[in-house]
Amino acid sequence: MIVAEQKSLEELKTLIGDARKVLVVGCGTCVTVCFAGGEREAAIVSSSLRMASTLEGRPREIHDVTVQRQCEWEYLDQIAEQIGDADLVLSLACGIGVQAIAEHFPKTWVVPGLNTSFLGLPSEQGIWVERCAACGDCILGLTGGICPIARCSKSLLNGPCGGSEDGHCEIDPEVDCAWQLIYDRLTAMGKTEVLLNIQPIKNWRTSRDGGPRKIVRPDLRLAAEQDIPAAGANLRSIRLLVSGAGAAAIDAGERD
Amino acid sequence: MYLKSLLRDIGLEPERVQMYHISSAQAAQFAQAATEMNNQIKALGPSPLRIPRTPINDIEPPEESEDNYHY
């Protein structure tokens, strides 16, 4: 899931500024399950801001609503009227949801109520940990299902480094050494020979280094929406081409 | 703790809320906690968010209409 944290009430008040009619919009997916921006949190933020505004002597009209997913147009369409009535929208979604509102409602001033943190999972009650860096070229099949890109502080492909001590990372004794975890798991699975394959330098074009990423699935496109980029267009895209046999090939598109 | 810090951020006194762990067999502790909170709230005074109520004698009686039921 996308894991996020709520901004402080003080920062939210600053972001809201002088807006008189505020709509707090929660999201019913990732940020609901990490207790940052779901229906419950939207109601608490809305109520807290109403009380704080009243105490400051400038009461505002603050309402809240939560949609299933802020990152899809059809769910945003359901609250178009409420968004149109507001001076300002405080989005409690991840950064994708905030941008979706900005893109879908060009005349709406939207501000983020959360800090989007990482892609991860809840390891214990009340604790979330990072597990994926969305590098666009998954190597978990080579590392026993433990990601050295997200979990090794240096994102090493042939670890561990000299900073690994008693199974922990040199940056913090609380942080597990990802390569120790990988070695332990491969040992337990009887597959340590996998480590003998030296991994070549990673192609980071599929990660953030290639600019904003995009996936086009021709098999899912609607005929009416097919767009053909003009010849010579400066297109930065990653196209996932699925052949009849199901094999995937990556075409890194035209570059600068 | 969360609620106390939220109240503080809002601008209200965190002492307005307190959590007690009391079993159904601890009547004396319950009474003590209730007295403690009562004194605490009295000392803090009314919530600044509270809308002042109109004294009951100043409220105009509603006009009677045919829709009103009388028992």
* Residue B1: pLDDT band with limits 50, 70, 90: confident
Query: To probe the interface with B, which of A6, A46, A51, A60 has the most B CB atoms within 10 Å?
Result: A51
Neighbouring C-beta atoms of residue B52, cutoff 10 Å: 6
Per-residue pLDDT reduced to its tens digit, A230-253: 444 444 444 444 333 333 444 444
- Residue A217 pLDDT greater than 70, yes or no: yes
Cβ B11–A51 below 8 Å, yes or no? yes
Better-predicted residue by pLDDT, A20 or B62: A20
Tell me which DSSP letter residue A206 carries. G
Query: Is the predicted pLDDT of residue A21 greater than 70, yes or no?
Result: yes
- Number of A–B residue contacts, CB under 8 Å: 23
Whether B11 sits inside 8 A of A55 (CB atoms) is: yes
User: Which stretches does DSSP call E strand in A48-186?
Assistant: 61-67, 88-91, 110-112, 114-124, 127-132, 168-169, 172-176
Inter-chain touch B9–A48, beta carbons under 8 Å: yes
Give the model confidence (pLDDT) of A47-81 as tens digits.
999 999 999 998 999 999 999 999 999 999 999 99
The DSSP letter of residue A27 is: E
Q: Locate the DSSP E strands across A92-223.
A: 110-112, 114-124, 127-132, 168-169, 172-176, 215-216
Percent of chain A at pLDDT > 70 equals 88
Q: Whole-angstrom Cα distance, residue A164 to residue A168?
A: 6
Asked if A52's CB is within 8 angstroms of B6's CB, the reply is no
B1 touches chain A (CB under 8 A): no
B11 contacts chain A (CB < 8 A): yes
DSSP line for A36-52: SSSHHHHHHHHHHHHHH
* Residue closest to A114 by CA, chosen among A47, A34, A22, A23: A34
Q: What are A172's strand-pairing partners?
A: A169
Distance, CA of A254 to CA of A232 (rounded, Å): 8
Minimum CA–CA partner of B9 in chain A: A9
Q: What's the whole-model pTM score?
A: 0.81
3-class state of residue B22 by DSSP: coil
Instruction: Give mean pLDDT, residues B60-67.
Output: 62
Do residues A254 and A231 make contact, with C-beta atoms less than 8 angstroms apart?
Answer: no
Pairing of strands A127-132, A168-169: unpaired
Contacts of B9 in chain A (CB under 8 A): 8-10, 48, 52
Residue of A nearest to B47 (CA): A55
A229 has a pLDDT exceeding 70: no
Residue B50 confidence (pLDDT): 84
Distance in angstroms (rounded) separating the CA atoms of residues A164 and A185 = 16
Written as one letter, the residue type at B2 is Y
What's the one-letter identity of residue A49?
A: L
Tokens representing residue A163 in the block: 């900073």
Cα angle, residue A3 at apex, residues A105 and A150 outer, rounded to 5°: 120
Local structure of residue A140 (DSSP, 8 states):
G
Span A139-164, average pLDDT: 96
Q: Distance between CA atoms of B60 and A113, rounded to whole angstroms?
A: 45
- State how far the Cα of A22 lies from the Cα of A16, in Å rounded to an integer: 8
What is the distance between the alpha carbons of residues A100 and A138, in angstroms, rounded to a whole number? Answer: 27
Res. A136: pLDDT tops 80: yes
Which residues in chain A have Cβ-Cβ distances shorter than 8 Å to B8?
Answer: none
Task: Write down the ipTM of this complex.
Answer: 0.71
Q: Residues A28, A68: contact at Cβ < 8 Å?
A: yes
d(CA A138, nearest CA chain B) in Å: 39
